[in-house]
Amino acid sequence: MSAPPRRGAAVRAAARMARLSPPSSPRAHDQRGSSAASSSSSSSSAAAPAHEGASDDERQAAAPRKRRRVSPARSAAAVKHAAASPLPRRTASAPTRRKRSVGAAEWAFLDAAEPHVQAVAVPPLRVHARSYHAPLLLAPPSTERPDGAVLGRAARSALLGWYDGVAQQRAMPWRKPFLDPAAYIGREAELRAAQTQRAYEIWISEIMLQQTRVETVIPYFERWLAAWPTVRDLAAASTDDVLAVWKGLGYYSRATRLQSGAQKLVADPELRGLLPRTAHELVAVVPGVGPYTAGAISAIAFGEAAPMVDGNVQRVLSRQLGLYASMKSSATTQLLTEVASRLVRAVAEDGEPKGSAKGSTPKPSDRPGRWGQALMELGATICKPKPECLRCPISSTCRAFAEGEALARKPLSRQEAVPDMEDMCDLCEPLSDDDETNAAAPAPVATAAKKVGGAVQTKLSFGAKSKAAVKVAEPSAGIEVAIERHVRRFPRKTEKKEARLEQCVVCILRREDGRVMLEQRPEHGLLASLFEFPATPLRSDDLSSSAQRALALSHATLVSGGQASYVRSAGSITHLFSHIRLVMHVHELRVPEAPAKPNGERRKWYAEEEVEKQSISTGNARCWALAQGKTSKKGKEK
């Protein structure tokens, strides 16, 4: 018995057959014809050298195929049949679809925004070409839409204006005015020192903000700068002090990498404690600084046109481009980085004086930093995993928003012209099954556009035009919900790997004088350099209390150098890491005649009141609270 057809296979089959269908309207045909003509001329000229010296068979294979014209009825029947029929299973000799990576030579499709302004890849098939992902934020000035929506430079200005109005609402201490080089003419050394200080503060804040909420980071950031206000101060600090200030933020290797980075900058004979200006140099020189952090430092502190692509920006751009793909794909990350680079350069050039040479390097300004922070702020406050699309200042350029609106207004909307199979997008995956997305929404009622000041304000796009008012459909509650349901699907979700389960026995080991043993972890790896109670892994095939007790006794005797005696079981806690679910079984033991120096250089006895002052991990802090009776045996506070 053959397997039932899968939705993904049906979508691919329908897309394969869709190229046989005629254009949906004369206007769509004209647009498609002009686009195809330009693309064919450019592609033929680019491909000409490849034909030189080729055999007759190779020339015939490379020659463009004649397009079949099929009646609408036959085309519809073919699509219906393809969608309903399962694809044949591939054999070892059958050709497979080539996975294409996005390289520098393939960025040309990003320049094709204008011919596709009116096209919408209507769900669920979303048939579209690669050029569909050309960002409307980069649309040329001549590009217009019938609804008067703001595109291109006007949309970029709208996002910057929105950010300027909200930048200080969350009162982040690392957000400070840009250091304008024009104000430091003749004082270049002073400017360089001030820029390095600003770069240092941005560096600290960005590392702290990884995997951590803004509200949590602010007090840590302030305590850090109070302890080590400059790069040189951090380089001279002790690792124990650094970990103590970081205590509670988690991912402690971030703190040690910050310090090693500061030490490398101070030791460098050329930099002498100064941070490099460009993102490329920052990644190459400073340990723990990746492309995103380097872009943030370069753009915000030095005014360079460097892209800043974190998780929030990835989500914003995937929706702007209508890119339904996994963010873990290298092709996806390359594409988003390229788009972000083009956007920040365009924003920097927007601020250049008229008549500036096209293609020249923009002068440093506050625009790149404001733009990068605007995208991040948008992703953090509006374009969230559950978006609030009607508050977005750039919904007019958002492909996912347009698709959601088209889906919500069915059956009024229809698929635009279908590209040839050779031009079909190979970056997007088929939409996964989701009953919520296909939920019906009531049809909207067209009303007059609202006016803001002297300009037209559309409820959907937040875009202002100075022309006469354009009638737009104000979305009902149902339309709004349907749009946001669709937008929520971008970017494509990837299944998270389930954290592996591990178990261990934790020994709270006391001497006769009440001192408690702690040991320091290695300088590299998980929880690097932190202190913890002696612990040993527990075999999963024997979790009995007797097995735990025997293991605790043997390990305590080994690490202390004296004969341990068992006191009691304090209980268990479960501590979650990103990839590990660790169950910690806490046991108390005594070593009446333990030597003053335990076995191992990284182990030491501490007075009970000193334990909490050490840089111990969150999991071990919970074990200590359990042993002291501050929590129940299951690790819950009493």
Residues with catalytic function: 206
Question: Token digits for 318?
Answer: 């995937």
Q: Are 344 and 307 in contact (CB under 8 A)?
A: yes
Rounded distance between C-alpha atoms, residue 499 and residue 516, angstroms: 32
CB atoms < 10 A from the CB of 5, how many?
14
Rounded distance between C-alpha atoms, residue 425 and residue 410, angstroms: 24
Q: Are 419 and 127 in contact (CB under 8 A)?
A: yes
Rounded distance between C-alpha atoms, residue 580 and residue 503, angstroms: 10
Rounded distance between C-alpha atoms, residue 107 and residue 594, angstroms: 69
Q: In whole angstroms, how large is the CA radius of gyration of the chain?
A: 31
Q: Are 373 and 205 in contact (CB under 8 A)?
A: no
Q: Are 548 and 538 in contact (CB under 8 A)?
A: yes
State the DSSP string of 240-271.
HHHHHHHTTS--THHHHHHHHHHHHHHH-TTT
Rounded distance between C-alpha atoms, residue 408 and residue 624, angstroms: 55
| Half-sphere exposure at residue 558, Cβ-oriented, CA atoms within 13 angstroms | 10
Cα separation values, 247 from 208, 226, 251, 254, 607, Å: 12, 16, 10, 11, 20
- Cα–Cα nearest to 224, from 251, 194, 258, 257: 258
First to last CA, the chain: 59
Tokens 């790149």 belong to: 368
Q: What DSSP element (H or E) covers 584?
A: strand 580-591
Cα separation values, 114 from 109, 134, 151, 152, 584, Å: 11, 9, 10, 10, 60
Asked, as a colleague might, if the bond just before 491 is cis with ω within 30 of 0, I would say yes
Rounded to 5 degrees, φ, ψ at 282 are -60, -45
Cα separation values, 142 from 74, 117, 303, 323, 354, Å: 39, 11, 29, 25, 18
Q: What DSSP element (H or E) covers 322?
A: none
Strands 516-520 and 603-606: antiparallel
Rounded distance between C-alpha atoms, residue 535 and residue 352, angstroms: 61
Residue 553's contacts (CB-CB under 8 Å, 6 or more residues apart) are: 564, 565, 566, 589
Residue 222's contacts (CB-CB under 8 Å, 6 or more residues apart) are: 173
Residues belonging to the chain:
638
- Cα–Cα nearest to 497, from 406, 577, 437, 587: 577
Rounded distance between C-alpha atoms, residue 545 and residue 551, angstroms: 10
